[in-house]
Structure 1
């Protein structure tokens, strides 16, 4: 039978003294987290029976952080996926004992967003959120900043000049990409429609500007109709899409710049037995995937949620531990463009 691995073997493998290994096991004196981690890895490599002891000491030595998050629509598939990615990104950190505290806004009310941010600020070390643009949020974010609680904006850039960093896509480019696809795949010019969630979503405004500017630059005779506000709801989008189809026989394309795409998909399926209108939507869900497969959606522009969460959690941790507040600005991530042939 092979000799049993001892702490002397662990010390030799880790390049430290036996005394240091003993301290790491028993906590008789403080050992740096980096050293405990090296000992733990060495113990695992050579099969030391007490590997779990080192991991326990390592966990005890890590700083504890509460990271707060504000999302929307808890029942919506996209935000369910968002929450899962946040929890994963926090749990996978090896440099902290992190807890993700997630709250959901039930409306687009600035007061509700402000209240949620304030609530999280009372117990969290750092906050990130998807929220509307409004002076009420500017005041809350400034107050949190004064209390050394940094705030990060995700997907929609609110509290500009006050928040620590925006993490998300370049929304102007997203709008241009949607317009590019529609104008390149539709062979005859006609009417184009665009839906935004509401006037308080800066990201939606930028997508609209990008969409309109690209269509204008093509010079191919497409006309973008007046922008429709759907409050990111399925029913409003459904009713408005039916109205568009009936009032504009030459409707060639629709871009849903925010939520509510399910309503547009349902309306197009109801009126047309086969796809006739190019539709670009955001986020891959069960319904948008089915629409791509059936041809009722032309392209899905998807947020790289895992990357968003990894990057924003990394910034939140670094800012909380090292005081790097205010050094970031904007971090633009590349979208995932999904076409019918690759769904």
Structure 2
């Protein structure tokens, strides 16, 4: 019968003294977390009978942190993926005992976003996708006063009050969309752009980037008046139908926010084969299908795994270090998805 591992065996495997292993077992004296982790790993490797007690004492040294996340459009594939990624990013941290609390705003009304943020006020830090509005700025300021930092995601709301913005450089995203259209279309012509509304600052920046690139580098193209779709499929569908009927010579459409499914449906309905270059944001089942059969030219995607990993790291740091008074921006490069990449 194999010999039962002893404390001496654990000490030898971990590279520490028997006394240190004894302290890790009985908890009467403090053992550094790094050392405790080495002992726990050694005990697990050897099959030491009291390894559960060591792991329990290790857990007790790891701080608990609760992070709140507020998203929109609970039924939308992109935000379902976003919620799953942040939960995985919190669970992957071994230096904390983290808990992710995910909420979804019931609408895009500023009041509903405020309600969502307030429902997360007991968390150690909060991250949210929300509109720009003075009510949210005040709510973020109130949370900051209570010691709860708020991070803005994708759309940079509550600037000067939130802790940091994490997402893509939206001005650059708009310029990338314009570059792809103007470089690949065989002839210049009219281009159209949809934004969600004037409360989505990120969409405004994408529009500015799109127009500035066309103006500077492709003056033979013209950009029509911007269309507001409130990020809804139906409104985008109806507006695209009307747009194509009024401008049968339209060359390209950029949907800077949500609602791309409506544009895809309208193009399929009016054109038996692709005739208008469409650039959208994010890869979903519908945008993937549009890319594969030519109704979409490119999808500009948020790198969700990297964003969520970086976000949780920022949130952990903000809890540990407190407010340093610095309000920053953390940009991630977009992922460009073309038909041949699927």
TM-score, normalised to structure 1, is 0.96
> Which sections of structure 2, spanning at least 5 residues, go unmatched?
none
Structure 1 201/78 Cα, relative in aligned 2: closer, same or farther at 3 Å? Answer: same
- In the comparison of the two structures, how many residue pairs are matched? 342
CA contact (8 A) 2:161 2:327 kept: no
Counterpart in the other structure of 1:338: 337
CA contact (8 A) 1:114 1:140 kept: yes
CA distance in 1, matches of 2:295, 2:325: 44
Counterpart in the other structure of 1:81: 81
Counterpart in the other structure of 1:100: 100
Give the Å deviation of 1:146: 1.2
Counterpart in the other structure of 1:259: 258
CA distance in 2, matches of 1:313, 1:109: 27
CA distance in 1, matches of 2:72, 2:325: 26
CA distance in 1, matches of 2:248, 2:168: 34
Give the Å deviation of 1:15: 2.4
SS at 2:193 equivalent: strand
Counterpart in the other structure of 2:12: 12
Counterpart in the other structure of 1:112: 112
CA contact (8 A) 2:192 2:225 kept: yes
Counterpart in the other structure of 2:169: 170
Residues 223-270 of structure 1, C-alpha deviation per residue, up to 9 Å, x if partnerless? 111111111111001111111111101110000000110011111111
Give the Å deviation of 1:47: 4.4
CA distance in 1, matches of 2:50, 2:254: 58
Q: Does 1:235 align with 2:239?
A: no
Counterpart in the other structure of 1:209: 208
Q: Does 1:279 align with 2:278?
A: yes
Q: Does 1:90 align with 2:98?
A: no
CA contact (8 A) 1:85 1:309 kept: yes
CA distance in 2, matches of 1:115, 1:333: 29
CA contact (8 A) 1:318 1:324 kept: no
CA contact (8 A) 1:165 1:326 kept: no
Give the Å deviation of 1:55: 2.6
> Which sections of structure 1, spanning at least 5 residues, go unmatched?
none
Give the Å deviation of 1:294: 0.5
Give the Å deviation of 1:185: 1.0
